A and B are shown apart, each in its own frame.
Chain A
């Protein structure tokens, strides 16, 4: 994998459902993987920065896992709420010494009340 790829592009879930989406990134020269949550007309908000293989982070109902050897991260949302509706972006920070984030195109989540 040469680029950062996210799937699915979009999904609609019912309120209360749990959901997950995937971020794939180049596994070579890995340094850090960022997740951002971006509500329409607002600023992207940092959710997690993950650096270690096997890392798992949690923030309320949202959690993320990281597999650096195979180059993927999963974001999970438990019991989705309408306020979770947003675009979720992941970004590879490149190797050590790089200041550039390489973003995927995002997964747009819509939670239906």
Chain B
């Protein structure tokens, strides 16, 4: 049973560039959340997508945007990259309704973004 897959695993970008990170949820899941983990911090909620729409957003600027496709996979886009965007980006999936309250979220292993 494939869990959450994220791609790429690592990438390096230059300040000012744009980046797209991808996430495929666990089979049977329809909801995708994105988190940013900066060095020394806990993961911080960016947003959650359900039914191809952003359902809730954390405290991140508009440079962070996302998309969910009909097959439930998702992309995280970051424009005008700053050095401070260097972090591990985690994707988590769940089944809308109750599964996250009972079983928690299923996380991917993340994409390590380095901005130079």
Contacts and interface: CB of A to CB of B under 8 A. Distances in A.
A102 B44 CA distance: 7
A43 B42 contact: no
Contacts of B31: 99
Interface in B92-115: 100-110
Contacts of A32: 101
Interface residues of A, number: 26
Interface residues on B, range: 20 to 34
A100 B48 contact: yes
Interface string B32-74: 0101000011111100100000011010000000000000000
B10 to A, nearest CB: 11
Nearest to A9: B40
A91 B104 CA distance: 10
